[in-house]
Amino acid sequence: MKITLKRLACMGASFTSALAMADAASPPVLSPAIPFDVSANPPFTLDNLQHDFDVLSWQTFVALNWPANPDGSANTSAQIGAPGQTVWESWKESYEIFLPRGQKPVAWGQKAPLPAACQGKGDLPVLQQMGKVAGVLDEFIQPFKTGPLVDQNGAYTRNAIMVNQPMFDDIVNNGLYSKEGQQAFMSKADNRIAFACGSQKAQQVGAIMVKSAWKVLDGTDNPGDFHAVDALVYTPGNADPDKGAVIPESCSAQKVGLVGLHIVHKTSAAPQWVWSSFEHVRNVPEKTTPVNERTGPYLFYDAKASDRPVNEPPVPPWDPSKKATPSQIVREIPLTAATRQLNLQWQGALKGTVWANYQLISTQWPTDPADDCQVPSPTNPLGTPAPNFLANATLETYNQGTTPQASSSCMECHNNATTRVTQSPRTSFADFTFLLERAQSTGAKE
């Protein structure tokens, strides 16, 4: 089913429509309200719709980065850029949901126990992933892996994945946090993984996942240029050479700065989810920029070493406890002129806050969305994404490009995610999240 005029017209009728109509003419309005869905305005051309989804991305970025109350709700009496934890930073992180032995996570409002190596180092958020795999995210280093991203100081960047409460509730209420729970869920012939859709009609926010990339800030970095937090940088140890390099466990409190942010929101207009990707403006030069114009300074590119080969992962073994050669990264696919223009508008509205240091790379959305939020499209599961490819230089560093299935496309890769119950298409499909693969076994006999 293609985007129909009728379906899009529905999208237009929402409380955010005023914002949408306004944005064409005047500066963006900064709001803590997370949009329920895209606001699409005719004519429904590819470029216009892309613009509308890009606006959705910025609106969501602002709302999620709003300073939060202790309970995680947006602090409406503060402005974005005020100090404090952001809304999304109060959400549950993946290590809190998929626990050893498939234990049930603690309730949404409660803090989960820290990894043992981190205890006693402060009540801080934990960052643990560092290696982004070709499509599969995991704490251990995998073959045909894409590799860690190394900053100019030789330190690895770190990632974290958060989910919002609707998504957390779906996981917990359906027992999906353990392998046995997933099996029990799938044993009913009508069950399938289908997270909640955001809906204008129902005025509800859908499932949202956030993936953040951070770099360790040191003396040469100006914390004022980043959204900076104190965090526990955690490396789970590995003693099994079958799973990757043998490396020690470690945990230390460090000041880290945000360099990349994926926001993924499932909505009625986009049951294949809306994939928004942001980066720090100083991350990397674009490949299309002539070498002598790459002035920087960049976070992941050394303008003085322009003869180094680009976009090559470090030589294995990868051990985050050892200083590594800084990565030399360029952006393969440049931002479009339209996105650049939109970024200027929003950065202007955010001027004076750290958030003006961030830019939208693009938004991937299905041009031929599935009929509903439950069942994948039988003939076009991806829904013909626009743009065809999308990569964040900090999170899909080493598979940027335009080759189908090999180069980064959010939907294409995430469509391959499965549950731990791979028996049939119904039981295997994980609704575009790799998180369900992390569910451990309780060890109980079937």
Partner 1 sequence: MSDPNLRNFIDLSATLTGLSADRLAPAVDPINLPPVFFATAQQGMGTAAFSNLLELYVSIKGQPPEQIASAVLGNADPQIAQGARSIMKLWLLGSWYQPYDQGNAHAGDTRVLSDQAYKESWAWKIAQSHPMGYSQYHFGYWAEQPATLKQYTGVDAKEGQ
Partner 2 sequence: MSTLNTQNIETADVIVVGAGMAGSVMAYQLGLAGLKVLVLESGPAIPPNRSEYLERFYTAVLKAPEAPYPPEQTEQAPATQFAPRATIQDLITAGSSDPDKAQKSYLVQKGPQLFASTYERVGGGTMWHWMGTALRLLPNDFRMRTLYNVGVDWPISYDDLQAAYCRAEQEMGVSADVASQAYLGVTFPKGYEYSMHGIPPSLVDQHLGRNVTGTSYQSPERAPDGKPYPAVTLNVRQTPAGRNSQSDNGRRVCAGNTSCTPICPIQAKYDATVTMAKALDTGNVRILYQAVASQVQVDANGVTGIDFIQYQNNGTRQNGTAQGKRYVIAAHAIETPKLLLNSIGPHSPKGVANSSGQVGQALADHPVYLAWGLMPEGKPLFPFRGPLSTSGIEDMRDGPFRSQRAAWRIEIGNEGWNWSVNDPYASVCDFIDGTNEGGANPGHLALSGQALVQQLNSVLTRQFRLGFLVEQVEKDPDNALCRVERSAEFTDGLGLPRPQISYALSDYTKEGFKQARLAATHIITELMGATELTNLNPDPKSGAQTVFEYDGQHYAFYGAGHLMGTYRMGSDRTRSVVDKDQRSWDHPNLFLVGDGVFPTTGTANPTLTITALTFQAADVVASDLLKRTLQVQANQAWQGTGMQVNGQSWQLAVCTGGQWTANPATGMVGAQGNPGLIAKPGYTLPGQNEGALIGRIGDNGEPFLVGQQVQLPRGQQGELQLCINDDLTGRYGAGLSDNLGSLSVEVRFGTV
Binder to partner 2 among 388, 418, 426, 442 (CB under 8 A)? 418
Contacted entry of partner 1, partner 2, none for residue 379, CB cut-off 5 to 8 Å set by kind: partner 1
Is residue 187 near partner 1 by the rule CB under 8 A? no
Shortest distance (Å) from residue 269 CB to partner 1: 12
Provide the pairing of β-strand 131-132 with 228-235: unpaired
Residues in 382-441 at the binding interface with partner 1, rule: CB under 8 A = 382, 384-388, 402-405, 412, 415, 418, 422-425, 428-429
CB-based contact 280:226 (threshold 8 Å): yes
Q: Residue 169 touches which of partner 2, partner 1, none (CB < 5 to 8 A by kind)?
A: none
CB 253 within 8 A of CB 124: yes
| 371 HSE (CA, 13 A, CB side) | 5
Of these, 29, 253, 291, 406, which contacts partner 2 (CB under 8 A)?
406
Q: Does 242 bind partner 2 (CB under 8 A)?
A: yes
Please tell me whether residue 337 binds partner 1 under the rule CB under 8 A.
Answer: no
> How far apart are the C-alpha atoms of 264 and 273, rounded to whole Å?
6
- Contact stretch for partner 2 (CB under 8 A) within 26-34, 72-80, 108-116, 309-317: 309-317
Q: Whole-angstrom Cα distance, residue 180 to residue 183?
A: 5
Q: For the chain, state the CA radius of gyration.
A: 21
Contacts with partner 2, 372-391, as mask; x by CB under 8 A: --------------------
157 or 357: CB nearest partner 2: 157
Quick check: helix, strand or coil at residue 207?
coil
Largest CA distance in the chain: 63
Among the residue ranges 45-53, 93-101, 122-130, 307-315, the one whose residues contact partner 2 (CB under 8 A) = 307-315
Q: Which listed residue (367, 437, 440, 442) binds partner 1 by CB under 8 A? A: 367
3-class SS at 173?
A: helix
Question: Using CB under 8 A, which of the segments 118-126, 148-156, 308-316, 359-367 binds partner 2?
Answer: 308-316
CB 347 within 8 A of CB 356: yes
The residue within the footprint of partner 2, chosen from 12, 69, 140, 310 (CB under 8 A), is 140
Assess 42 for contact with partner 1 (CB under 8 A): no
User: Rounded to an integer, what distance in angstroms lies between the CA atom of residue 37 and that of residue 35?
Assistant: 6
Q: Which two tokens stand for residue 286?
A: 């674009």
Asked if residues 11 and 40 have their Cβ atoms less than 8 Å apart, the reply is yes
Nearer to partner 2, 222 or 422 (CB): 422
Can residue 308 be called a binding residue for partner 2 (CB under 8 A)? no
- Residue 100, Cβ density class (10 Å: 0-12 exposed, 13-18 middle, ≥19 buried): exposed
Rounded Cα–Cα distance for residues 147 and 312 (Å) = 9
Q: What residues pair up with 204 in beta bridges, in sequence order?
A: 199
CB atoms within 10 A of CB 392: 25
Phi and psi for 339 in degrees, rounded to 5?
A: -65, -40
Options 43, 83, 120, 143; binder of partner 2; rule CB under 8 A: 143
Chain residues that interact with partner 2, rule: CB under 8 A: 133-136, 138, 140-147, 239-246, 311-313, 315-318, 398-399, 401, 403-407, 416, 418, 420, 422-424, 428, 437
**For binding to partner 1 (CB under 8 A), which residues are involved?**
2-3, 44-46, 49, 367-368, 376, 378-382, 384-388, 402-405, 412, 415, 418, 422-425, 428-429
